[in-house]
Structure formats: C-alpha cells, structure tokens
A and B are shown apart, each in its own frame.
Chain A
Amino acid sequence: MGRKLLLDKVGIVGIRSYDVYRENGGYSSVEKVLKTMSPDDVTNEVKKSGLRGRGGAGFPTGMKWGFLAKPEGVPRYLVCNADESEPGTFKDRYLMEHIPHLLIEGLIVSSYAVGSNRTYIYIRGEFGWIVDILEQAIAEAKNNGWLGKNILGSGFDCEIYVHPGAGAYICGEETALLESLEGKRGNPRIKPPFPAVKGLYGCPTVVNNVETLSTVVPIINMGGDEYAKYGTGKSTGTKLISACGNINKPGVYEIEMNISVEEFIYNDEYCGGIANGKRLKACVPGGSSVPVLPANLLLKTAKGETRMMTYESLSDGGFLTGSMLGSGGFIVYDEDQCIVRNTYSFSRFYRHESCGQCSPCREGTFWMEKILWNLEHGKGKMKDIDLLWSVQGNIEGNTICPLGDAAAWPVAAAIRHFRDEFEWHVTHPEEAQRRNYGLAGYAEPLKAGV
C-alpha cells in the first residue's frame, strides 16, 4: 500500500465539512506558519521539498515563488488554477469535490508565503457544483477565523474568491487565465513580462495548480526535507493520477512516485489491469497533450529499463521514444482501440479550444482536424499523412502559448509510432470503417536499437 498525503483522509465520513476536517488535523499548517514561520521560511520549506508543479509542466514550485517580484506598495496575487479541462485529467476535480478544505488550507499557507491578500480560484465553468462546494468551504473557513483580516492575530489578511470561467480550455494557460480573470478575452500573453513580474492587473502574480497548492499542506506539516524523502530522484512526493480508458478500475489514485508503469496498470491497488482480459495497446500517460506511447515503449524505455511513474522516467527518450507525466491524465487503450480515431478526437478538441490569436495554431488545428476526419472516414490519401506531419511541424514551437504544442504532439506521436495504422486506413478505407487495426506489433518486445 503506497503512502498517501493528499487523499489519506478522503475516506473519512463528512471530511468535506469544516468540523470533520478540523477534527482530523485540518488547518494545523495555517497555525504553524502564521505562528512560527516567516513567508520566506514557507517558501524555503517548499523549495526543500522539491515539489514540482502538478499542472503539467512540472516546474519547481519553490523556485517559481522565489521569482516573484516584490516591489514596495504593489499588491501581489496568488491565483489557483482550477481550470482543469484536459481530456483524461480529472484529479483536481476529485480533490476539490472530496476534500475542499485541503485546497483552502493550502491556499492560505501559500498566500502567506507569497504575500497575497486577495487570492483567486479560477475554476472551470463546467464545475458549477464545485463552485458551491468551494464557496461553502471558504465561508466555513472564514467563519472560523482562517480567512479575513488579521488571521489568528498574525496581522496577515487574506480573502479567497472563486471565479468560474466560461468553459474555455485555453483559460487554463496561466496568462490566458489572468486575462480572463481581468474580464478580458482569454488570449494568452506573450512573455516576458512573466506573471511573476507583471501578472494579474499588472501586479506580481503566482499561478499554481490545485494539486500543487494542496500539497503545500503536507509539506508544511511534515517539513520539506521529510516530504522530499517520498518518491524518487527529482520526482519527490506523491502525485494524483486520474486513470481512465480500458482498465478495470478507472479513478483517481494517489501514487508515490516510485512505482513502475506496469505496476500502476496491472496492480489491483491501482488500475487493476486491462478490462475484459484484453491486451494493452497504447497509453497516453499525462493527459491528451502528451505523446501517446505504444505498449512496448510504455512499460520499458528504449534502453530496456523499467518505465517508472516519475517525471524523469516517463520522459526518458524524449519525444522519439518517451512521453511526459504531464498533468497525470492516464489514458489506457486496449487492442480494440483505433489510434486514428483517437487522434482525430484529440484534434477536434484542440481545434475547438484554440483561442485564435496566433496563426499556426488557429489554422493548423483546423486543418489537422479535417485531414484526420478524412483519414478516419476512409477518405484519406497516403500523402495526407505526410501533410499532417508537415502541418503539425509548422505548429510545434511556433506559437505564443503551449496549446499549439499540445495540439501538435499527439498527432506527431501517433504518426511516429502508429504510421502503419494510418496507412492501413488509407489502403483499406472500407475495412477501416468496420473494424480496428488491432494490436499489430505494438505489444511485442522492442527489437534492440529502436
């Protein structure tokens, strides 16, 4: 049984309410930091913990806080990014739904660390019921003196506001999120200036993911050094993984970052193996934007090492033979799934979610979706596969924000690893409508030198 830090209390009846949460040791980290620590101490603990951002990019959180500009007389803001909308990722939703006070507690501690007196939770518009849960948790926290003026007599003021978005995926990109929060169109900004210098309303701002901010609570409670003992290498601590697809036990799992991918898929503690006794074909390990990996590259790296559920191991081999831990949206495909169809589905999503600001992404995602529709529906030509490759190549790395990359990577990876399946769709247009390509050689052990 892996150790849990975030979801350890999720099973307690009534943990969503303040009283139960408090009885079970809730808000002790707030007491600890406000009474015994300076903001810099908090930042240092987070730095020591090695915590990396759980939103997808994996940037060290303590370092991000350290970059925050602190000019005199200018307010600073902490913004919680709860705009979780990547296909396959639903861990933040789970956390906020089941143990909202953990996030509120993390937010108070983090606000203290960065000096934010007005902290915002920017939440995905579709999470309407979670807005209510959070509002209630905030009201309870406020009634019990954890928010408002002069919290615990420390002189620190903090208010938390929940701001629902209107359902745009792009508003999960931190600068687009800030634009949206300011009441503008959610177009990403060009950096520099970085939000740490000029963010919300032109003031220094830190934007962190829900899970990241929640993780600050156990870090403070146990100390950064202790937290760093969890996990392996630069992947310290635990991570929430939202597993879905053709597995026996879809759901949100907190894993310590020291287990293998194979264990995660097949162990009954986690996914419990492929559903219906089928075989594993492929997996998208970190949310729809990260490259899809065929089974043979998923379980073992190209070098033949065991693939672990860590930032480093999942990205081993770069995009040629690796992928990313990303936001932890773990999508598993069995032998009956069609990669072309899946890629089309992802492309359709990115086409719809492109903000329309810069050309390569706006036009490229639109074009890719159309080409993939043709391929999937038996109307593709062989040269379409090369065209698709060229279109995604013109997007990747050439856009203002990472949405362009996120749209290009899944397409690139699908062609890279499953080109035969695309070609089969072209050569067997009618057959491709009736059945799927199947497992082919994807589950076979890799030949040396791939």
Chain B
Amino acid sequence: MIKISGVSKWYGSFQVLTECSTEVAKGEVVVVCGPSGSGKSTLIKCVNGLEPFQAGDITVDGISVGDPKTDLPKLRARIGMVFQNFELFPHMTVTQNLTLAQIKVLGRSRDEALAKGLALLDRVGLKAHADKFPGNLSGGQQQRVAIARALCMDPIAMLFDEPTSALDPEMINEVLDVMVQLAQEGMTMMVVTHEMGFARRVADRVIFMDAGRIVEDALKEEFFGTPRSERAQLFLSKILGH
C-alpha cells in the first residue's frame, strides 16, 4: 500500500532523512518510534507529500508521491492524516470541519456529507458536540473529531503524526481507544507515537528511527523481545523503565 524506497531529505546542508526504506502492506499497522529529532514526523509527512524529499521515492497505492506529474491533492484526499496539534479549523463548527473536504474535494452533496460526518462523529462518541466550535472542546475531543474528519474521506490508509503528544494524560486513552478500534477493523495505519502500550496492542511492525535513519524495522514481537540495535535497546529501556 505504502512503499518508501531510499528516501533522503535535506534542509539546506543538514540531512534529516538518510536512505529510508520500508513498506506498509494493506491492513497493516506500523508504529514509528524514536527519540525526538530522529526524523519520524518528517518521514510520515513525506508519505502524503506535505514535506518534499530530494532523493528516493514513495508510492501510495502504486502512485508516486515525488513525481511532479502526480495530482497531489487528489492523492492526499485518499490518505487520512491526523496531526499532533489536531489542526481542526477553528472558524468552523465541528460539522463544518467534517463536511468541508467531502463537499469541496469529493463533490458530495451537503446532505450526503452531513450524514457521513454525523455517523463518524457518533462513532468517536461526540454526536452531542456537532454544532460546537473546536475551541469549546477538550484536546482529546478535538483529536477524535480530527480522526473523524479524516475518516469522512473514506481513506485507503491513515497517517498519525504523534496524535497523543499534545494531550493531557487523562485524555490520551480516549484517543487511543478510537485508534485501536480502527486498527482492529483492518485500517492500514502508519503511526508515529511514543505510546508503546498502543504499539504492543495493535501494531504489526515497529520501526525505530534515529538521526534520520531507520535503525530497526521489525515485527512487534521481535522489537519488544530482542531489539537488534543497541540504540533501540537503550530507547526501549528508557521509555519502558517507568
């Protein structure tokens, strides 16, 4: 579904990604972890072309992201993305947030978009908040709306960029629950997160990044059992230590 091959990226002379290659199969859940500054957010933003890269290629469903001839907006409409800071549109109600792209990008009718939006809002447990503005919701609620907004587009895959990092601890679980449910329903997911509990529960594979390189790309059991690289061992011992 998602194929990343030999991707390198530079900011000026500083190399942020070095020869990253991996694959996410249909229905697979891949967790990307690593210390901050390791390039994991940058990598996931390359997948839908939000960040350009200078070498290598990424294909999603067989379509090249790096190819200048690719209709990026059309491709992005098929890939859902959830951001660290939610990025709901603050000048629109929850309902408007959910229906905007359905109407403007997919050309759905207002009624159709509304029905879809409300159904997904109900699924993330926020039906009562349809007419509120994002500013009146808690962080956890905003992130669940953001997930519903991405799902409204019937995505073939979902990208999560540290979806719980900006949340208060007591709100993390309500967001993770939605993500676990999504994973169990067979959604193809690439998730940048530090939530190792989430990785243990639903990930098929775990990718560990350090200094712009994919250091470890292993099945979940292998990764948590016997990580090959010393760097990953150290990271795990620190993050699981308490």
Do chains A and B interact in one complex? no
B residues apposed to A, CB below 8 Å = none
- On A, residues with C-beta under 8 Å from B are none
